[in-house]
Structure 1
Amino acid sequence: MLDTPAAAVPTLSLADQARDPDAFAAALGGSFERFGFAIVADHGVPQPLIDHAWAQTEALFALPEDEKRRYHVSGGGGARGYTPFKTEIAKDARHVDLKEFWHVGRELAAGHRYAGEMAPNIWPDRPKGFRDTFIELFAAFDRAGDRLLSAIARHLGLAPDWFDPAVKDGNSVLRLLHYPPIPADAEGVRAGAHEDINLITLLLGAEEAGLELLDRATGQWLAVKPPQGAMVVNVGDMLQRLTNHVLPSTTHRVVNPPPERRGHSRYSMPFFLHPAPDFLIETLPQTITAENPNRYPEPITANGYLHQRLVEIGLIKA
């Protein structure tokens, strides 16, 4: 677990998209088809904003436990605000994950038609400026996600703007993750083997060792090691379902560090890019062939699918 070989996931530059959108789309799609993952540099999220967000994240999780728990909504499925340590569990796992997290969602105008499906944000009293920082970061992730979805659409033979109406006012979530120091004999791992629920995930903070993907070709766990400042992007189950597994959602995990690093915290910021709640996940016709028949003849709304999965990972009680 501590000497896992590195995955040969290519590092792509999002700056190349403007110069040759077809070539970038082919490279991104090829990486997804092989690994379910890609590494993206030059993603456009400003580094000073990222640095400030890390500082605010560390300050947030350093707050006293009783103060953090004031922002936990019992029965809310972890949709917004604080979710305490040892709450979430990977599907079919034996032990809960060794993490705590905070969710920031999309800010909706009063009376918005999705207000019933998308909970309002919860903002802590401190650290100062938290709300402004993460509204700005959410918007930056949103822009990067739109560009990546445009490339995915090209790769699938769709119009470059095909995903635009699907994700307009989408139920995306920015998760601030803290993996606290752990004892040598801790049960479980920081994040058990799982697949993400959403369309794609954009992740900052994977430079700290621990993220691993399960290589479908070999059955071997491989370490994901992006260069400093690059973003790790992976396919989620909604996109896998939409594309009839042409773009696969790959099992991944965050393993515990070697003994000398177990006294250190690990932080990361995944942005789970979701479509709008009423988006219908219906298999794309061009992904259905004689060799790859339709695995999902019954379509489902994004909100219906999300609810099913949140029950499975213990954030909502059935």
Structure 2
Amino acid sequence: MPVPVPQFGTFNYVPETKEELDWAELVTVDLGQLGTPEGKKQQADILISAVREKGFFYVKNFGISQARVDRQFALGKDFYELPLEEKLKYVPQGLDEGQFNGYVPAGRRFIDQELKIKDQIEIYNIPKFNGDFAHNHPAVVADRLAEVEEFARSLHTEVLDPLFVLLAIALELPEDYFTQIHQYQVKSEDHLRYMRYSKYPPEINAKLKNWSYGHTDLGSFTLLFRQPVAALQIKYPSTNEWKWVKPQDATLTVNACDALQFLTAGYVKSTIHRVTVPPKDQQHVDRLGLLYFSRPHNDVKLATIQDSPVLQREGYVQNEFEESGNPVPTMEEWTFAKQKWQRTKAGSVKKDHATATILPGFNEKIHA
């Protein structure tokens, strides 16, 4: 008899680690409490405290079922089980120049220069479904593209729009201030990502400090769906300590990114984070991630918001570009400048790359 094939939608999560780790103490934004002005104000206070003090926070009651999330993890798993030669057909032209939609293969960068150990990180990015981007995918994705689109769009309506409303309230701006510059139908470099960190042999893990080095994301908010392989760490801006981020049931993990830091002149912190070597009881499995990267419209200038009474009162009135007298980039200019820096094969832990000038007025920093 033929062996039954599991239907699309099944995904088995590995058990959580039993090791005692130094977990970050993160707050939770409850989107189920936004039905009243009082509820909105309470959750806005929680959000602004989180993005100023820690950068990461949890979100619950976001209206997307676990079954739908599981199906996306299953799709990512199916994609990464394709032969490498098939996946390589979807590498974007101009990858070294900052293009990123499609497949980014592993092994492009050293994560340990001295030992010559390369990364084992694979990425598959799917752009917006708004007519501005071509969609060319392998059959395992193309056959389910309508479901992928529905899922991506729901992240805007169910998660991002409410978070942007709360951020606007916290900054004493009109509630639609940020939703107006993050409309799904307008061109921006948002994307849904399936990401795999393939396991290393134990003898390699024993030599490694991290699987990826400390960095910030370049957009507005990054949404990270729960997966139980502990490896994500954040750097507290107040103490410079690295803390583990614990997977929480029925939540999203969210972090603030560069664009919000520029728009608020540093009032909102772009979160420094990394993926480190998992605990020993989870090192035998691959780490599959499901993420969404939100970014302002391509034509938005990343100048400090001058309409916020909060920023004015607190003295957050100029970002790095403005203080240095250099041109303030648009989101499109910032995206491709930083993506080029991130994607180049020359990228490594070398100091000259880690502290490179992304655009005049902004130099990267070492966050290892």
> Partner residue of 1:314?
343
> Partner residue of 2:166?
151
> Partner residue of 1:247?
268
Paired amino acid for 1:312: W
Change (3 A) 1:290 1:14: closer
How far apart are 1:180 and its partner, in Å? 1.1
Q: Distance in 2 between matches of 1:98 and 1:61?
A: 12
Residue 121 of structure 2 is aligned to residue 99 of structure 1: yes
> Partner residue of 2:80?
61
How far apart are 1:279 and its partner, in Å? 1.1
How far apart are 1:189 and its partner, in Å? 3.1
Q: Distance in 2 between matches of 1:288 and 1:206?
A: 40
Change (3 A) 1:97 1:52: same
Contact 1:25 1:151 in 2 (8 A): yes
Q: Distance in 2 between matches of 1:22 and 1:100?
A: 40
- Looking at CA atoms only, which structure, 1 or 2, has the larger radius of gyration? 2
- For residue 222 of structure 1, the aligned residue among 219, 243, 248 is 243
How far apart are 1:219 and its partner, in Å? 1.4
CA deviations 1:57-116 (Å, max 9, x no partner) are 1111011111111111231435221111123689x9x9754310100111233xxxxx4x
CA deviations 1:134-191 (Å, max 9, x no partner) are 1121111112111111111111111110122211223211111111121221556333
Which 4+ runs in 1 deviate beyond 6 A? none
Contact 1:104 1:174 in 2 (8 A): yes
> Partner residue of 2:139?
125
> Partner residue of 1:266?
287
Q: Secondary structure at the match of 1:159?
A: coil
Change (3 A) 1:316 1:74: farther
Q: Distance in 1 between matches of 2:209 and 2:344?
A: 18
Paired amino acid for 1:106: K
Paired amino acid for 1:301: T
Match runs of 1:134-149 below 5 Å: 134-143=148-157, 144-149=159-164
Unaligned runs of 5+ in 1: 110-114
> Partner residue of 1:17?
34
> Partner residue of 2:330?
301
Change (3 A) 1:138 1:96: farther
Q: Distance in 2 between matches of 1:265 and 1:162?
A: 40
Q: Distance in 2 between matches of 1:167 and 1:95?
A: 39
Q: Secondary structure at the match of 1:38?
A: strand
State the identity as a percent: 22
The TM-score normalised by the length of structure 2 is 0.77
Residue 194 of structure 2 is aligned to residue 173 of structure 1: no
Residue 100 of structure 2 is aligned to residue 79 of structure 1: yes
Change (3 A) 1:104 1:290: closer
Name which of structure 1's ranges 284-293 and 121-130 shifts more when overlaid on structure 2.
Answer: 284-293
Paired amino acid for 1:108: N
CA deviations 1:179-207 (Å, max 9, x no partner) are 11212215563332110000111110343
Name which of structure 1's ranges 301-310 and 9-18 shifts more when overlaid on structure 2.
Answer: 9-18
Name which of structure 1's ranges 71-80 and 37-46 shifts more when overlaid on structure 2.
Answer: 71-80
The TM-score normalised by the length of structure 1 is 0.88
Paired amino acid for 1:294: Q
